[in-house]
Amino acid sequence: MAQSAKQEPPISLAEGIRKCRKIIGKSMPAILTRYAKEADLQEAGPRFQADVMQVIVSAIALRWDRPKRKRFSALRTEMLRVEKAASNGAEAMRCLQSALDGLKSALDNLTPLYRDAALGNLTPLHRDAVLKALKRPVSPTATRVLLASSLESLSAKANMYSEAFKRLDAGGVGGMLEFRILVEGLARAFQVATGRPAKVTWNEHEKRFEGDFVKLERFTF
């Protein structure tokens, strides 16, 4: 019986980034040197090369991390559950407090004359049980009121956080976060290297975007 091939354990993110840096570091100087000539830059200096390489590695690391991470939309769903549960808990505690207050009021207005008359037909065992229950004091209300207030505060905070998460990720099909990080990072590197903003122009005849920043994107992609 043939032995199954031994699977290599998955490498860690840190090890993957290290290998990625090594591979990109070998090719990036030549790529950016060719880009500098096309874009009429004086040179693709070490700072420019380092900035571009860091951007690419960051985008790749984000892509690598994608299967393992939870989106902010998922966090928002859980935060909304916390908000609802805390709100319901606060309402339940206030309903409990209202019921206990009603019970205390009823106990306070249970006259001895009526009590003794009503208990007269009970067996001694049952009468003792009822008397014991009537003598048991109602627990203090401060703790329950404080807990209800704390739950209401938690519910309000959960609502605030869920709204913040919604601005980051409203759910649905996931956005191209890695691509956005890559383009924004290249734009910063371009501006630092050239002293010019990373602008693009539309060529209506060719139906495409053009410009030195577009060239940088094409070279790095």
Query: What's residue 201's pLDDT?
Result: 84
For residues 75 and 134, what is the distance between their CA atoms, to the nearest angstrom?
A: 48
Q: Is 9 exposed, middle or buried (0-12, 13-18, 19+ CB in 10 A)?
A: exposed
Is the backbone of residue 101 left (phi > 0), alpha (psi -120 to 50) or beta? Answer: alpha
Neighbours of 70 (CB within 10 A): 9
The contacts of residue 52 (CB under 8 Å, 6+ apart) are 28, 32, 186, 189, 216, 220
Neighbours of 71 (CB within 10 A): 16
Give the pTM: 0.58
Phi, then psi, of 137 in degrees rounded to 5:
-70, 150
Long-range contacts of 75-79 (CB under 8 A, 24+ apart): 75/165, 76/162, 76/165, 76/166, 76/169, 76/171, 79/158, 79/161, 79/162, 79/165
Query: What's residue 83's pLDDT?
Result: 94
SS3 52: helix
Query: What's residue 80's pLDDT?
Result: 93
Residues of the chain with pLDDT under 70: 1-9, 42-43, 136-143, 173-175
Query: What's residue 156's pLDDT?
Result: 92
Tell me: the pLDDT tens digits for 35-94? 888 777 766 788 888 888 888 888 888 887 777 778 888 888 999 999 999 999 999 988
Query: What's residue 138's pLDDT?
Result: 58
Query: What's residue 175's pLDDT?
Result: 67
Query: What's residue 1's pLDDT?
Result: 44
Write the DSSP symbol of residue 42. S
- Residue 116: in which H helix or E strand, if any? helix 112-119
